Structure 1
Amino acid sequence: MRNIKLIIEYDGTAYAGWQVQPNGVTVQETLERSLAQMLGGPVRLHSSGRTDAGVHAMGMVAAFKTEKNLPLRAFSDGLNSLLPRDIAVRGAEEMPATFHPRFDAVGKHYRYTIFTGRYRSPLQRLYAWHCRRSLDVAAMRRAAGHFVGEKDFAAFRGAGCAAKTTVRRVEAVDIAAAGEFLQLDVRGNGFLKQMVRMMVGTLVEVGTGRLAPDDVRRFFETPVPAAKGVTAPSHGLCLVEVYY
């Protein structure tokens, strides 16, 4: 039995997230359907995690088992010929039988894009959050430092989060300004449901002056969800890479 690892890029706009669910078309479902067409039978993909509806990915990792003796190019070039244009396999690799995309992952890198232009941008509407108010980037960077380290992120998890523990380690939160864009790069050993989006929403509240940078530190001391800012919309978020 072969264990095939896929690196997957997708535009999440048209999908109800990664994971198969009864009330919407998902990325996992679409990939499994194309794999079943290629392999002549049902296939179950195991992924490095989930993404919410509207979230994008450059480097989602998933794996599946097969007895078919097809060349690896069949699982990249061949599979891409069956997939819709908003999903693509960027690489395929044969892994040891024990490899699991989720349990073997040691870290993830997410990027959130904010568009700060005065006028809305039709070209950016699916990939960046349009924040019309002026943002104090220096204050946001000071606040971002409070997220770094191993901490209890209970105040930064979305409703319905089923994680057994809310302790996570964030390695870095970097904010880069380029013209009318801010890119927030978040790296850590794992993330709770909507955690990155809630972190970004809080940093934007700091940037607008509604919160002070030190308020972020206090949220860890007294994790009251109602005290935080808004949850950033999903379409600005992209899973860049999973580390092993």
Structure 2
Amino acid sequence: MRNLKVMMAYRGTNYHGFQRQDNALTVQEVVEEKVSSVLNEKVVINGCSRTDTGVHANNYCFSLLTESNILPVNFVRGVNGRLPDDISILSCEEAEPDFHARFSCKAKEYIYKIHNSESKNPFETDLSYHYRRPLDADIIRKAAAKFVGTHDFKAFSSDSGEKNSTVRTIYYFNVEINGDSVKMLVKGDGFLYNMIRIMVGTILAVNEKRIQLDEIDSIFESKDRQRAGRTAQPHGLYLNRIFY
């Protein structure tokens, strides 16, 4: 039995996230079907992350077990030949028997893209969040810095029934601004449900002065989701890198 580590990219617009569902089309369902047809055996792929409806991935890792002796290069070519245009296999390689795309992951980096302009960009539809208000670069960078470090992020999660620890470590939260293009890059050891989108929504609320910069500390302490900002739209979010 071989264990394969596969990297792919996808545009999430047409999918209800990565993880297979009974009543909606997902990335996992489509990829499993095409991989199974190439390997001529039914396979289950193990994804590195559950992405939400409309969320994209520049680099997404999945692992799978197979009896096939297919060469990695032929796996890439064969599966890409059957996938729709919004999903692409980037690479395939042999992995150690105990490698698992999710459980072996040490950290992840996400990007949140914002088109900051009064006018919409027709070439960015479903690929970045159109935000019309002027951005104060200094204040949003200070707000992003508040999330760096080890904190209890319960107030920044949509899953009120989370039974596991809600403590996470954010290694960096950088804001890059180039004209009307804004990228927020955040790397952490793990993320709660909607955590990044809520952090982005909170930063934008600080920009709009609906939340004060020094309130973020007390929001952490409160563990109250209602005190944090809104959940930013999903189509601005990309899984960018996975660290093993």
Using the size of structure 1 for normalisation, the TM-score is 0.97
1:160, distance to aligned residue in structure 2 (A):
6.2
Distance in 2, Cα, partners of 1:160 & 1:75: 41
Residue 50 (structure 2) aligns with:
50
Q: C-alpha root-mean-square deviation of aligned residues, in Å?
A: 1.1
Residue 34 (structure 2) aligns with:
34
Residue 228 (structure 1) aligns with:
228
Residue 172 (structure 1) aligns with:
172
Q: Deviations over 1:4-58 (max 9, x none)?
A: 0110100000000000001211001100000111122211001111100000001
Residue 13 (structure 1) aligns with:
13
Residue 240 (structure 2) aligns with:
240
Distance in 2, Cα, partners of 1:173 & 1:123: 26
Q: Residue 77 and residue 10 in structure 1: after superposition, are their counterparts in 2 closer, same or farther (change >3 A)?
A: same
1:194, distance to aligned residue in structure 2 (A):
0.6
Q: Deviations over 1:144-172 (max 9, x none)?
A: 11101111100111136646111100000
- The answer to whether the 8 Å contact 2:158/2:225 transfers is no
1:191, distance to aligned residue in structure 2 (A):
0.5
Distance in 2, Cα, partners of 1:230 & 1:61: 29
Judge which range, 122-131 or 25-34, deviates more: 122-131
Residue 134 (structure 1) aligns with:
134
Residue 158 (structure 2) aligns with:
158
Residue 198 (structure 1) aligns with:
198
One-letter amino acid matched to 2:111? R
Residue 101 (structure 1) aligns with:
101
Distance in 1, Cα, partners of 2:84 & 2:18: 15
Residue 89 (structure 1) aligns with:
89
How many equivalent residue pairs? 244
- The answer to whether the 8 Å contact 1:161/1:193 transfers is no
Q: Residue 78 and residue 162 in structure 1: after superposition, are their counterparts in 2 closer, same or farther (change >3 A)?
A: farther
Unaligned runs of 5+ in 1: none
Q: Residue 20 and residue 104 in structure 1: after superposition, are their counterparts in 2 closer, same or farther (change >3 A)?
A: same
Distance in 2, Cα, partners of 1:97 & 1:232: 39
Q: Is 1:207–2:207 an aligned residue pair?
A: yes
Judge which range, 105-114 or 163-172, deviates more: 163-172
One-letter amino acid matched to 1:45? I
Q: Deviations over 1:95-149 (max 9, x none)?
A: 0110011111110000001111111122112111111111212111111111011
Q: Deviations over 1:185-228 (max 9, x none)?
A: 00010101110000000001111221111111111111211111
Distance in 2, Cα, partners of 1:20 & 1:107: 23
One-letter amino acid matched to 1:2? R
SS at match of 2:119: coil
Q: Is 1:2–2:2 an aligned residue pair?
A: yes
Structure 1 residue runs of 4 or more that deviate by more than 3 Å after TM superposition: 159-163
Q: Deviations over 1:164-185 (max 9, x none)?
A: 1111000000001100011100
One-letter amino acid matched to 1:198? I
Identity of matched residues, %? 37
SS at match of 1:213: coil
